[in-house]
Amino acid sequence: MSEKQLAGLRPEQFGPLLPFVENDQITDINWANGQLIVDDVKKGRYLVENVHLTDEFLNQFSSHVGNIPSVNANLTSVNPVVEAEGNGLRIEIVHESAAVNGKTISIRKSLPYAKLTDESIIKDGYCTKEIQYFLKSMVLAQVNIAIAGLVGAGKTELLKYLTLTIPAMTRVVTIEDNLEVHYSKLNPGKDCVELKVNPSFGYVDALVTCLRLRTDWILLSEARSTEAKYLIENISTGNNCITTLHADDARKIPVRLRNMMDDPIIGEKMESDTYSYLNLGIYVRRKMLADGRIIRRIEQIVCFGKNQEDRNVCQLIVNDGKLISRDLTEEIEKKLKRVGIQNPFKNPYPQMEEFMRKE
């Protein structure tokens, strides 16, 4: 990791934390209760032995973070939390008056490159070749996608990988509170507006703004609350979306979105609208093997839709990482036909080229 990626701090100011900051395999660095625990992409979460952060270092580091121009705040009992963000790092420090077991440091890394590649997802068993082609076909057909998973499953990494298939002159609007998608850096030369929400410009404001930005794709980093209603309203007008959310099963996505609504009546309508406008659900899973290694893979894929009686349809096509059905919903079939993809489980690009020649 280069110096410009250190969130406004010089490398030496990270002290004994620097080796972990510079290690691209480590995604999270946490100091609490006198212990250093890190999250490694391959090794999982583990306690680092023989590293101790002195009170002197903790105070100095807190001061350095507070002195970053974009932060400009001292860590005190009156101001017990300071946060800094920039170029792939997000730092949060909690004062000992709020953290009863001592001052805590959390450093989260989100690097501006895609960890998933066409080669790695096959090599590492993330998904099969047929599923890989299917994912590309879904993006090219402008299918609306929600990626579910638990903390650390790699939902955002899958979202980042899917963006690589979005055509260059398609306008994309990203909406995030913490910048993790890095669309412009992953996709140089592509049309993109990157929106960052804050207390005076919230998720709802950003989603309303999308309607005025000639948006083709909305990338909402995570659906957490009532903003999900505005996301569904956006895609009901013709915009496309990819979003992530916390859930432990792809089939639970509509219910999860329903439960984000404060009003039960609005929640019921939200669930129904989800089946109407959200076409695909993906569940990604993080699993620790017996030897301590971490693997991630696509566990489930479901198609959402409505049948001729306007009843909700949820078709499971991938389960336990295996393709179990090729039956898609009518809406997805229509979208595939529109771009000339006859078989979404094969390479879509030759199919689309042949379709364009015939047109």
38-80 confidence digits (pLDDT tens): 988 878 889 999 899 999 999 999 999 998 888 888 899 999 9
Give the model's pLDDT for residue 73.
85
Contact 241, 233 (CB under 8 A): no
Q: How far apart are CA 281 and CA 72, in angstroms?
A: 42
What's the chain's average pLDDT? 92
* Domain boundaries along the sequence of the chain: 11-109, 118-354
Q: How far apart are CA 248 and CA 345, in angstroms?
A: 25
Give the model's pLDDT for residue 179.
86
Give the model's pLDDT for residue 1.
44
Calculate mean pLDDT across residues 305-325: 96
**Superfamily of segment(s) 118-354:** P-loop containing nucleotide triphosphate hydrolases (3.40.50.300)
Calculate mean pLDDT across residues 147-165: 94
Is residue 3 scored above 80 in pLDDT?
no
Calculate mean pLDDT across residues 291-302: 90
Give the model's pLDDT for residue 110.
83
Q: Tell me, rounded to whole angstroms, the distance of Cα 210 from its chain centroid.
A: 19
- What DSSP character marks residue 143? -
Query: 11-109 and 118-354: same fold?
Result: no
Q: How far apart are CA 177 and CA 311, in angstroms?
A: 35
Give the model's pLDDT for residue 284.
98
Is residue 7 scored above 80 in pLDDT?
no
Q: How far apart are CA 143 and CA 335, in angstroms?
A: 7
Contact 203, 197 (CB under 8 A): yes
The more confident residue out of 20 and 293 is 20
Is residue 146 scored above 80 in pLDDT?
yes
Calculate mean pLDDT across residues 278-307: 92
Give the model's pLDDT for residue 86.
76
CATH topology of domain 11-109: Beta-Lactamase (3.30.450)
173-196 confidence digits (pLDDT tens): 999 988 889 999 999 999 999 999
Give the model's pLDDT for residue 56.
95
Q: How far apart are CA 282 and CA 318, in angstroms?
A: 9
Give the model's pLDDT for residue 5.
40
Contact 99, 92 (CB under 8 A): no
- What DSSP character marks residue 150? -
Give the model's pLDDT for residue 177.
86
Angle (CA) 142 347 222, round 5° = 35
- Closest by Cα among 115, 128, 141, 111 to 42: 115
199-240 confidence digits (pLDDT tens): 899 988 999 999 889 999 999 988 888 888 889 989 999 999
Q: How far apart are CA 149 and CA 139, in angstroms?
A: 20
Give the model's pLDDT for residue 6.
63
Is residue 197 scored above 70 in pLDDT?
yes
